[in-house]
Amino acid sequence: MKTDILNFPCGKRQFKKNRIVGGEDAQSGKWPWQASLQIGAHGHVCGASVISKRWLVSAAHCFLDSDSIRYGKIMLWRAYMGLRTVNEKSNHVVMRAIKRIIVHPQYDQSISDYDIALLELETPVFFSELVQPICLPMTSIIEICTTVISATFVFFLGHLARTLQEARVRIINQSICSKLYDDLITSRMLCAGNLNGGIDACQGDSGGPLACTGKGNRWYLAGIVSWGEGCARRNRPGVYTKMNLCFRFAATSWLFFSGLSSPVFFLRSPNT
């Protein structure tokens, strides 16, 4: 079986047979790489994806401080995996504290470019039917996905949907999306949704996965929920960080802090 960069199986589901606007409830274990990043009484703040026993990937903008909350303060965060509902309490739910947050060194807050961050868990998780890693793509989504025109993604949306949602979206041509957003789309971004509106990621979905199936029915992290205008508006598709162009950052950070490689990038973490 083909494996990811740390040589373990990824992108396989073992379940037995920002809410997505226009989505539907997902079955437990259907998307085992989905994680919910939460802060105390504030509850769910952002989504994330499990990529190994110790690492999650999310959006950099999730960790920008606001006037009232220091989102960059690592000790505030908890990652929950194996959830189907945001506040689920069961033996199947896995919770971990965060040890390290690594924001891409080229992240540009003003235009949301390189909107990606890695999170190291304080202790590793054990994979199960409800918790599995998603594969990271090294090539473009067109080369990976057997079904290029659509992808499946699932997120939480704080106050509108308490249950994990899923929706099938269409990947929008890069030049078309760039025109729709007045050339604000960089090469590190991709657009997905429905140009007629009705299906989209939304507030609270940030950092969550845009996933697609590849050869062997394996799931790959094609994108990370980044930004957009409103929710499910006509000609305003969701904008995602293009994961394959950030693969080097993810791989080298992951390997370096796991003690397996030398750093390629100069990495920075928010103040603790």
Model pLDDT, residue 27: 61
Catalytic residue among 113, 115, 200, 205: 115
Top-confidence residue, 39 or 216: 39
Cα first-last separation, the chain: 40
61 flagged as catalytic = yes
Catalytic residue among 61, 104, 112, 226: 61
- How would residue 244 be classed by pLDDT, with cut points 50, 70 and 90? confident
pLDDT mean over 46-63: 92
Q: Which two tokens stand for residue 246?
A: 């950030």
All structural domains of the chain, each given as residue ranges with its CATH number in brackets, are 31-133+247-257 (2.40.10.10), 141-242 (2.40.10.10)
Q: Tell me the CB-side half-sphere exposure of residue 15, using CA atoms within 13 A.
A: 17
The reported pTM is: 0.81
How does pLDDT run across 165-179, given as a tens digit for each residue?
677 778 888 899 899
Catalytic residue among 36, 206, 226, 253: 206
User: Is the confidence at residue 158, as pLDDT, over 80?
Assistant: no
- Percent of the chain surpassing pLDDT 70: 68
Model pLDDT, residue 176: 92
| Average pLDDT value over all residues in the chain | 76
How does pLDDT run across 177-205, given as a tens digit for each residue?
899 998 899 999 988 877 775 554 555 57
User: Taking a C-beta distance cutoff of 8 angstroms, is the pair 4, 14 a contact?
Assistant: no
The three state secondary structure string of the chain is: CCCCCCCCCCCCCCCCCCCCECCEECCCCCCCCEEEEEEHHHEEEEEEEECCCCEEEECHHHHCCCCCCCCCCHHHEEEEECCCECCCCCCCCEEEEEEEEEECCCCECCCCECCCEEEEECCCCCCCCCCCCCECCCCCHHHHECCCCEEEECCCECCCECECEEEEEEEECHHHHHHHCCCCCCCCEEEEECCCCCCECCCCCCCCEEEEEEHHHCEEEEEEEEECCCCCECCECEEEEEHHHHHHHHHHHHHHHCCCCCCCCCCECCCC
How does pLDDT run across 73-114, given as a tens digit for each residue?
999 999 999 886 666 667 788 999 999 999 999 999 999 999
- Percent of the chain surpassing pLDDT 90: 29
